[in-house]
Amino acid sequence: MQRRGSQATITGTWVNSFDITDDLKKPKKVSADELAALSPLERFKLTHQSIRRNWNVSAIFPNPHVIKAYQYPDTDKSTARFSWSVPDLANLRVFCGQEFGWPIDTVDSKLLPVVRAVSRGFQAQTRIDGYFTSYNDNIKYAKIRSKRLKAVVNDIKGLKKPRKHEHD
């Protein structure tokens, strides 16, 4: 039994999951009919042409395993009621050490903030990113090119540039 729609549904998901005019230097107008007529490989190349000119994409794009994952998502079939519990830190340390090759200090720096948050309780449903707000991973964000957008972001961050007065 197919759980999540047909090939057309999957293709529709891919088509609708991005805007083909994003980041194109000269956006092209493409109708839905034209998009539907393209093969998945042609659609991929069209939507990513501003990022790289020559893509080395497999002739079997999209991979049948990806299609199967859409059609038959791997989910827990258990009907048992879900319950929260504190993570098994000892076994997680062993797993992270064996599978990722992490030393114990790295494992602890990643897991202990989560364990502390879990032990505080589950009064409210939170998002996973809330557990990592104090984690410094040296993320580099893309440079903002738009002057107006940069001004808005700086304003939000509290980095307002002093405005020049006409009398100065």
- Residue type, position 100, single letter: F
Query: Does any domain span residue 125?
Result: yes
Query: Does any domain span residue 76?
Result: no
Q: Tokens representing 144?
A: 């903002």
Query: Does any domain span residue 56?
Result: yes
CB 48 within 8 A of CB 22: no
Q: Are residues 104 and 58 in the same domain?
A: no
Domain boundary among 18, 38, 71: 71
Which pLDDT value is given to residue 23?
44
Q: Are residues 42 and 107 in the same domain?
A: no
Which pLDDT value is given to residue 156?
79
Q: Are residues 96 and 119 in the same domain?
A: yes
Which pLDDT value is given to residue 31?
64
pLDDT tens track of the chain, all 168 residues? 444 456 666 666 655 554 444 444 444 556 666 766 777 777 777 777 666 666 677 777 778 888 888 888 888 888 888 777 777 889 999 999 999 999 999 999 988 888 887 777 655 666 676 666 555 556 666 778 888 888 887 877 777 665 555 554
The pTM of the whole model exceeds 0.85: no
Q: What is the DSSP letter of 74?
A: -
Query: Does any domain span residue 148?
Result: yes
Q: Which domain holds residue 112?
A: 84-163
Q: Are residues 63 and 103 in the same domain?
A: no
Structural domains counted in the chain:
2
Beta strands in 31-140 (DSSP E): none
Q: Are residues 64 and 96 in the same domain?
A: no
Q: Are residues 98 and 59 in the same domain?
A: no
| Residue closest to 115 by CA, chosen among 97, 95, 133, 92 | 92
